[in-house]
Chain A
Amino acid sequence: MKNTIIQDQGSVQVQEIERIEIELLLEAIYRYYGYDFRNYAQSFLQRRILHRVRNENLKSVSALQEKLLRNPEIMKRLFSDLSINVTEMFRDPAFFQSFRKNIVPFVKDYPDIRIWHVGCSTGEEVYSMAILLHEEGIYEKAKIWATDINPKTLEQAKKGTFSLANMQLYTKNYMEAGGIRAFSEYYKVVGEQVVFHPFLQKNIMFAEHNLVTDSSFNEFDIIICRNVLIYFNKSLQNDVHQLFYESLSLSGFIGLGKREGIRFTSHGNCYEEIDSTEKLYRKYK
């Protein structure tokens, strides 16, 4: 009995030490490399950092900190650990269907449609949006700013080239999302790669943007930020929502990830629900 208590206390202490180490590491990263991960979700940080510690064959977070400050390569690796680039074309097809049904009719008559795709990752969802807008006949007047913190994934996104491996899933997604043409009209297979038609890139601007440190850069009619805020803690989430609020025109739309929500954020009362399951909201005050 006594032993387990001591062990428990020990593990509590280890946890506490680890927490401090992580905080220090983040502070160090911020001060040296300028990346601000301090307000990311605690458990996520812990998992990813420990994952890196293991992969580097180190014993502690402090050891990682030591190496990381001296070796930018390790920072790069941690950085890619921390930027999760899980995405699909027409990810959560119901979202795109709902977008078609509930938002397109509103914006159809706008002279121009400005869309900010936050955390675009390797660009699959941006291209999906471009295809959707094209099919709705409004891509010509749309402008999509696709931003991400990670320049590497942005480079990939700019290519508009994706692996052949996922195309079967993407085709299914496209159909479920209410696609009105043949998905194969938009791409061409070149070896193991699928090249999307260059016209889809015409109105997309890829740019680096850090939600934590950068401010609003335009006023948008639609903001899409799916599965980005889940990596942040509450206070950062609220800061980002403030940023979105400032960047969204009155009666502009915002789309979040399937498991996210706007209700419990600092600006929850400024939005009305358009589709509660697909997390589409409209700013009304």
Chain B
Amino acid sequence: MKFTTKLYASIGFILLLISISVVILMNMLEQSIVKMNVVVNELYERIDIASEIKYETANIGREFREATADPENGNNREALNAWEESNLKIKQGIESLKELDTQEKSLDLMEQYTTLHDSYQDMVQQVMVWQKMDGKVDSQAVMVDEIKLTRNRMLQTAQLLLGLQEQEMKNELLRSRDTYNWAVTSIYIYLAISLSLGIGLIIWIIRSMTKNLNKVTTVMNSAGNSNGNDLPRIEIVSNDEIGSIAAAFNAMVSELEAHSKLEKHLLEEAEEHGWLKTKIAEIATMYPEAKDIQMLGESFISKLVPIVDASFGVFYLKSENEAQPYLKRIAAYAFSNQFKASEGFYIGEGLVGQCALEKQAILLTQVPEDYISIRSGTGEGSPRNIIILPVQLEGEVLAVIEIASFHAFTSSQVKLLEEINSTLGMAINSMLNHMRAERLLQESQALTEELQVQSEELQLQQEELRTTNEKLEEQYTASEQKKKELEKVREALEEKAQQLEISSQYKSEFLANMSHELRTPLNSLLILARILSENEEGNLSKKQEEYTRTIYTSGNDLLLLINDILDLAKIESGKLEVISKEVDLYDVQDYLSKQFSPIASQKDIQFNVQLEPNVSNYLYTDEQCLKQILKNLLSNAFKFTESGSVSLQVRKVRTEYIEKQMPVSTQAEYMLAFSVIDTGIGVPTEKQRVIFDAFKQADGTTSRKYGGTGLGLSISREMASVLGGFIELTSEVGKGSNFTLYLPILQSSEILEANSYIEEAAAGLEYEDYSLNEKSEVDDEGSRINEEGKSSLKHKKVLIVDDDIRNVYALTIALEKYEMDIIVAENGREGIEMLQGNPDTDIVLMDIMMPEMDGFEAMRRIRQLPKYQTLPIIALTAKAMKQSREECLDAGATDYISKPIDIDQLFSLMHVWLYRKEG
């Protein structure tokens, strides 16, 4: 039976029971209502009628008395009428009661009452008639009593009747109560039965339903716990919904089982795939670590063999042996000496060769036991399964792998081996390519290095050749020259001998002329100036007189200067004639005393000349020079001394006692010291060196105050050195100075040697004070220019392009010292014009900041001219900025130097760029 049917049936049944019970209850209620109606309507009416009968019965008695009591009066009539009416009512009552009450007892009583009533009426009629006839009642007293008695009996009967009716009512009430009680009881019973029936039915249905459901649940639970295979089935017992659930479940379980089987299968496949991939990746990661094919093979085979649970492996690489493709063993796993023979195979040789030939894997199972044996410390065994695989790339076999295992190879292992083979093919290929490239690179590296070596060697050889060449040439020219020179010297000697006289004559003539030519006009100038200044005619104003005096003194100064310059020129050009002879020092003393005593007395200064006792009277030297030096020193002393004393002391000292580092070495044991000591203004320490330089005085203002050319000390120093001595100065500002002239006490022969040494010393170059940014101002300008340097710049044409005339002037002065030919342009445009006018220009000094055309533009223009593309152009840059330098180079400058220009640096630079130009 189906669930729906069961549910419909049980619920329908319960509804039926309920409706039956409702019908019964309704029925009972109707019955009880009918009974109540009977009780209320019928019985009550019967009681009412019976009580009216009784009431009327009582009435007729009273009315009869009234009617009879006074027959004459009116009331009598009325009473009679009432009486008549009551009688009627009694009759009617009895009639209706008879209809209603059918009980025998009541009928009997009513019969009795009717009889009594009839009799009562008859008697009353008689009485009435009597009364009317006689008018008296008393006569009828017996009759009246009789009436009375009947009436009482009637009353009694009515009373019984009423009682009977009431009794009836009471019975009826009892009866309806019984009916009610029965109805209640029967309802209870009925309810109990239907309730128990309903409950039973429900229990039965629920139980029958849950039992099946539990069964299904249990099976389902067990299915959930089971692992997906062999799921339990539900036995289908019923045809109902549970049955169909069970059927559906069974179907589902079958599906599940099939699905899980499939899933398991897929999982296994995925696992295998994953394993493959990991292993492949594991091996692939090893490829890049390999440095060469050997290493690749080794690490590959040692990794691969354990992965496939094998115990032996060999890696053969295809190479060439005697121009034949040959599979060479390059790596092995668990290798042992017994395989020594199998160092390699030719294609087609053995199984390995065959495999390479066929390009297909060869799988051997169940090989004989003694085929190969693998040993370990504890024993040995023979792998029974061998696989030989070709490693290919694009159809070409690159290598062959042989692997042996104790176990049979599983399909996944075989698959792994195949998969790995393809990646290995690529790895081998790229490795081979890489090695090839590496080898080529190394070769090319070696070749470039070799090239460098050879180029350097060549350079060296070239250098060597050049040097040898130069030497040879030099030697050749030297010998040629020597020959010529010898010839020349011989000729020259002859000529010299002739010319000597003439030239010395010329020289002295020239000097004499020179001094004459200069002095003559100057003298006339001086004389005229003096005459004018005397103003004898008195026609000059005081001012004009002053002017002419100035002309005179200035001219005098000029004259002195010219003399000094001539002296200095003579000394520097070596034209000073030194005529050494015995000089009487007392003569010198006399001469000086005569010269300076007047000045001393004029200036009120003490003056004396002392010769110490140990000084010999004579000195071998040039008298003129000695006198001039001492004169210069003394006039200096007087010039700078306002008061106090000036003295000249002459003493003899041992050479070694002289403190000062000797500028020249002398072989003389003793020296004569001429000390000129004054009490004048003195010379500051830092100026003590400078004052010996030409045109230098201790203070720029000194010359204005004291006059003089500043050449005196220079001349003195030069002369002293020509005489083989020197001048030393010790001085203190404000206290005075001590100029000491040292002269060697020499034999006549020694003087010549000393002179030659001086020349050598002068030729050497002082290079100690060299510092990068400081300009050595102290250096004597003259000593910088050495003869060699001079020669490489000599007669070179330099173009200075600069608008700053001070700069041009300074450069010109400096360059003229080197005897360079200088041409000047004031701006770029002029510079180019000048250059075109002077195609033999050797070097250009180009200022950058100029009006009209600046240095950049000028250089660019010059470089555009094919002729001047290699002409050295030195840019003079004002700014020490890298950028402007680069701009210079871009514009075509060869080098640059920054302003203010260090002359030394400029000369070095010019030497560099004028090198080779001399040929």
Contact = CB atoms under 8 A, between A and B. Distances in A.
Given A185-B905, A190-B765, A197-B772, A164 B912 contact: yes
Interface centre among B461, B911, B913 (most CB of A within 10 A): B911
Interface stretch (A19-27, A30-38, A40-48): A40-48
13 contacts: A41-B449, A168-B913, A180-B882, A182-B896, A182-B897, A184-B895, A188-B905, A189-B911, A195-B767, A195-B770, A227-B456, A260-B445, A263-B445
Mostly, the B contact residues are helix
B912 A194 contact: yes
A1 interface: no
B907 interface: yes
Interface residues of B, number: 45
Interface size class of A (residues with CB under 8 A): 35 or more
Given A182-B897, A182-B898, A231 B770 contact: no
Contact of B912 (A167, A181, A264): A167
Contact of B450 (A43, A168, A194): A43
Contacts of A180: 882, 885
A192 B912 CA distance: 9
Mostly, the A contact residues are mixed
B916 interface: yes
A261 interface: yes
A44 B908 CA distance: 39
Nearest to A171: B895
Interface string A190-202: 1110110111000
A185 B767 CA distance: 15
Nearest to B452: A259
A79 interface: no
A171 B912 contact: yes
Interface in B874-919: 880, 882, 885, 889, 894-898, 904-909, 911-913, 915-916
B452 A230 contact: yes
Nearest to A86: B456
Contacts of A230: 449-450, 452-453, 456
B342 interface: no
A229 B450 CA distance: 11
A270 to B, nearest CB: 15
A86 B460 contact: yes
Nearest to A183: B895
Contact of B915 (A47, A84, A168): A168
Contacts of B770: 188, 195, 197-198
Q: Nearest 5 A-B pairs (CB), nearest first?
A: A189-B911, A167-B912, A184-B909, A86-B456, A230-B449
A171 B457 CA distance: 24
Interface string A167-185: 1100100010000111111
Nearest to B877: A182
A264 B445 contact: yes
Nearest to A51: B461
Interface of B: 438, 441-442, 445, 448-454, 456-457, 459-461, 463, 765, 767, 770-772, 786, 788-789, 880, 882, 885, 889, 894-898, 904-909, 911-913, 915-916
A192 B449 CA distance: 34
Nearest to A41: B453
B713 to A, nearest CB: 30
Contacts of B889: 175
B269 to A, nearest CB: 43
Contacts of A44: 450, 453, 457
Given A171-B912, A195-B767, A259 B451 contact: yes
A264 B442 contact: yes
Given A84-B460, A197-B772, A264-B441, 4 more contacts: A41-B450, A190-B767, A263-B445, A264-B445
A252 interface: no
Given A85-B460, A184-B905, A191-B789, A199 B772 contact: yes
Given A182-B895, A259-B452, A191 B786 contact: yes
Nearest to B441: A264
A236 B55 CA distance: 171
A194 B908 contact: yes
Contacts of B463: 86
A44 B912 CA distance: 35
B707 to A, nearest CB: 40
Nearest to A197: B772
Nearest to B915: A164
Contacts of A185: 772, 905
Interface in A239-275: 257-261, 263-264
Nearest to A167: B912
Contacts of A168: 912-913, 915
Contact of B445 (A187, A195, A261): A261
Contacts of A189: 789, 907-908, 911-912
